Structure 1
Amino acid sequence: MIIWSTECLLKQVVLKPSACNLSRVKRTPKSKLRDVVARNLRLFRAERGWSQERLANEAGLNRTYLSAVERSEQNISIDNLARLAEAMQIEASKLLITADA
């Protein structure tokens, strides 16, 4: 026999003051080289007609991580740079070259 209850059993959660103050979230400072990598990733990906999801899958990375790298909000390791270059079949150094070079 099943007994149904109409009583809601939600637990009350109290946020700590630190969770309420998002202005104190640590931000990664801007970097010209990170901007170059972000721009080149977007260009090479667009040349292939690939979505961020496809490139992330081909490289074995998370799409949200790739999105943050392309917005120059996330640092990228040398290993992940190499994985992205390999997925697009280009030399990793091409992701580091500025357009005016």
Structure 2
Amino acid sequence: MSEVLVRSFGTAVRRLREARGWSQEQLAEHADLNRSYVGEIERGRAIASLVTIDKLSQAFGVRSATLLGHCDELSDANALKGSRLAAIAC
């Protein structure tokens, strides 16, 4: 489950970044993060700390709860998708 959460958070970050028309480099500048670290977060290969979540939220101009809410929505959607696939396989 934690892997799904990390990937969902990365997807949420990527979607918000793309919605603003920003490159990873631009997001990194706005959030005072390294560009390669942003890429690792988006790919679900790095686990963002609370400080990083706060920096990303401020860069996007949203509350941390809003950013994490996007992540929860994606996690729920992935869990539902997985249960549908399991039902089909049975």
- TM-score in terms of structure 1 length: 0.65
Gaps of 5+ in 1: 1-29
Aligned to 2:26: 54
Identity of aligned residues (%): 35
Equivalence for 1:40: 12
Stretches of 4+ aligned residues off by more than 6 angstroms: none
Q: Is there any run of 5+ residues in structure 2 with no aligned partner, and where?
A: 78-90
Q: Whose radius of gyration is greater, 1 or 2?
A: 1
The answer (yes or no) to whether the contact 1:45–1:55 under 8 Å persists in 2 is yes
1:95: Cα distance to partner?
Answer: 2.4
Structure 1 residue 94: deviation in Å?
2.3
Residue of structure 1 equivalent to 2:80: none
Q: Superposition pairs for residues 4-15 of structure 1, below 5 Å?
A: none
Residues 1-101 of structure 1 correspond to what in structure 2 (within 5 A)?
A: 31-97=3-69, 98-99=73-74, 100=76
TM-superposed CA distance for 1:91, in Å, is: 1.4
Q: Could you state the TM-score of these two structures normalised by the residue count of structure 2?
A: 0.73
RMSD across aligned C-alpha pairs, in angstroms? 1.6
> Greater helix percent: which structure?
2
State the Cα deviation string for residues 55-77 of structure 1 (Å, max 9, x = none): 00111000000100000001110
